[in-house]
Amino acid sequence: MSVRQFKVAAAQMTSGDDLDQNLATCAELAAEAAQKGAKMLVLPECFAFLGRREADKFAVAEVVGGPQPGPIVAALTELAKRHELFLVGGGMPERRPGDGQPAKVFNTAVAISPAGELIATYRKIHLFDVDIPGGAVLRESDSTYGGEAAEVIETPLGNIGLTICYDLRFPELYRKLVSVGAEIFAIPAAFTAHTGAAHWHVLMRARAIENQCYVVAAAQVGHHNDKRESYGHSLIVDPWGEIVAELDAGTGLAIGEVDLDLVAKTRRQMPCLEHRAIKD
């Protein structure tokens, strides 16, 4: 049976290169989300590990979906079951089976049900290769395989489209997700301080408005090391583009209400999706 109105939580963290400490922070945030009545928790990109170099993540990469879960997926599974949460772990290093010394890994979001079942994986399609004037030089493709498939999950909390961070700049991906039923976009991210200040809010609101979907955007925040600073401002945005909840800075949660009836009402009253003249 579907649930039409419920609370969601977008987590905000300053992850570093200590896997155990990062997972301990995830555990604290999951407990807080459940205590405050959230049914869904989205963790940011790199929630489990954010090292000084891209290749540092190879040491903690694990196979996802195998017979025995690795420590990251096992930790999320336990949290989802303990707190009865639908949990999206957004952006963890996934190695290919049998790849003992990886040259690259996937940047993978995992979705876990309140029963502790791994119900979906999404491998980040768009990789962040940029030289920001006055900012960071990042080459995600040097250490990361690009994904190929868009992912929408049918759940009792609605149809959830999964994307990760830099995907946000490619509206055609979100149009594809909504065309196959998405009502909520889960967008874990680690936007840089520079690009976040310029574009974070406007892009998140645009994806919500143009697709008439909720956006649940979980962010990294603050200084991770001497080379990396993230913008923060975890957000929940409704299908009219209104910001329902926001956490500007610090570790914590942005918690807000999702109303799937509002999605249906918005699409009925402003039927943009039906009026598209150019379609795939």
Active-site residues: which are they?
45, 124, 165
What's the rounded Cα separation, in Å, for the pair 48 and 22? 5
What's the rounded Cα separation, in Å, for the pair 26 and 212? 30
DSSP-assigned beta bridge partners for residue 248: none
What lies within 8 Å, CB to CB, of 74 at 6+ separation is none
What's the rounded Cα separation, in Å, for the pair 129 and 66? 30
How many CB atoms within 10 Å of residue 65? Answer: 13
The position carrying tokens 């489209």 is 161
**Which helix or strand (DSSP H or E) is residue 161 part of?**
strand 158-162
CB 219, CB 12: distance < 8 Å: yes
Q: What size, in residues, is the chain?
A: 280
Please provide the distance, in angstroms rounded to a whole number, between the alpha carbons at the two ends of the chain: 32
